[in-house]
Amino acid sequence: MAMIQPIVVLAQTPMPPSRTLPLLQAGVTPKSEITSAIGSSYKLGAGDLVRLDLFDVPELTLEPRYTILLDGMLNLPWVGSVSVQGLTLNQASERLKERYQKFVKNPVVTVSLVAPRPLKVGIIGAVNRPGSYIVNTIGSEVNQASLSQRSSAESGSQWPTVSKAIQTAGGIAQLANVKEIEVRRPTADGTPETIKVNLWKYLREGELAQDIPLQDGDTVYVPIAEKIDPTEATNIAMSNFSPEQIQVNVVGEVVRPGGVAVRPNSTLMQAILAAGGVAPGRGKKTKIELVRLMPDGSVNRREFKFDVAIGLDENSNPAIHQNDVIIVNRSSTAKISDLLGAVVSPVTGAFGLLRLLLGN
């Protein structure tokens, strides 16, 4: 006996009971057109564009793509409005399978993600611009069949990850502890799940799995390090999750006093050189002050000697941080010269005024 084909229905509302279609026998799932995957835990929400495939029912392929509405509903042929808010792709496929069982015998339903919505994430802690961010995603068809085949490299290049979010927030601060980053993820019961991320392993050992994909509502927390290892700091400063430049202020007896932009993890001496170096005959090379506002609100002030031959060393040539202030003091000779100038200048001015009055 020939298989009875269903009536073509294009309306986005449920079919009346009197027009219920004959049950159909479904086959196997067709090959997916997947190019990448985002993870089996991705939760659908308003703004996602999804594709619905119901095998052996060509009527649904006339308009297979649907946008999830603000209330989390999909308006679909035959079954009407179906809520998929907060469901994974697998869960959404199962829910639609239950709804289509009224019209299709043993339906095989596949829900694919065509274009994901932008993610809203928080980035807080030791980053240069903490706050809430909208992170755009790269649209690509994703379904549950490809999730198990996802590699970390794919997720790092095609989906917002921890390092990408940190870049969005201006990069890590120099006091950041990249070994103990936390991703705080909301769950259905309201208790946040905490995922540990070690970006040092990602940077040093190429462990791409550390740079995990983010989900809507995630908060990335970057803690402050209790102690900075100079070697690690140098490598981290060269990474793409550090800012390209930091701003410091070099004031006093330098050739070009004012704000200076330097690479992260630049040294005190390099910052002074970026400001033109110590002013000849005026700067006191034995008294260079570094003033730093600490995370707890206190001010740390230290003195150093200017010596371009010294490499990175916390005791004699430390790495500078964002918004540090470097003061190059006046030499004794410059102080005497300035004092004499201040004394002589009024006298010279008085003699000039007297000559003017006498007509000479």
Cα 59 from Cα 6, distance rounded (Å): 8
Q: Using alpha carbons only, how large is the chain's radius of gyration in Å? A: 33
Enumerate the CATH 3.10.560.10 domain ranges in the chain, comma separated.
119-136+153-237, 246-334
What the block records as the tokens of 91 is 């869960």
pLDDT at 6: 44
| Cα end-to-end span (Å), the chain | 129
pLDDT at residue 33, as a whole number: 33
Can you give the pLDDT at residue 1?
41
Specify the pLDDT at position 156. Answer: 37
Residue 293 pLDDT: 85
The answer to whether the beta carbons of residues 297 and 268 sit under 8 Å apart is no
119 residue type, one letter: L
Which pLDDT belongs to residue 326? 94
Cα dist from 70 to 46, 83, 106, 121, whole Å = 5, 11, 31, 19
Q: What is the DSSP letter of 126?
A: S
Give, as one character, the DSSP assignment of residue 103. Answer: T
Q: What is the pLDDT of residue 7?
A: 39
3-state secondary structure (DSSP) of residue 256? coil
**Among residues 231, 242, 225, 128, which one has the least CA distance to residue 179?**
225
Rounded to the nearest angstrom, the gap between the alpha carbon of residue 352 and the centroid of all alpha carbons in its chain is 65
In terms of Cβ atoms closer than 10 Å to its own Cβ (0-12, 13-18, 19+), residue 3 is: exposed
What are the residue ranges of CATH 3.30.1950.10 in the chain?
17-115
Local confidence pLDDT in tens for the 360 residues of the chain:
444 444 333 334 344 333 333 333 333 333 333 334 455 677 888 888 998 888 877 666 556 788 999 899 999 888 889 999 988 899 999 999 999 888 888 888 888 888 888 888 999 998 988 999 988 775 444 444 444 334 333 333 467 889 989 988 988 887 789 999 999 998 877 788 999 999 999 888 888 889 988 888 899 999 988 877 777 777 787 787 888 888 899 999 899 999 999 988 788 999 999 999 998 888 888 989 999 987 678 899 999 999 988 887 878 998 888 889 999 988 777 666 666 666 555 545 545 544 555 555
Domain 119-136+153-237 sits in which CATH superfamily? Outer membrane lipoprotein wza domain like (3.10.560.10)
Superfamily classification of domain 246-334 = Outer membrane lipoprotein wza domain like (3.10.560.10)
* CB-based contact 124:221 (threshold 8 Å): yes
**Residue 350: its H or E element:** helix 332-358
Task: Give me the CATH topology for the region 17-115.
Answer: wza like fold (3.30.1950)
Phi, then psi, of 288 in degrees rounded to 5? -105, 125
Q: What is the pLDDT of residue 334?
A: 63
Beta bridge partners of 313: 317
Whose tokens are 């065509």? That residue is 114
- DSSP, collapsed to helix, strand or coil, labels residue 166 as helix
SS3 of 125, please?
strand
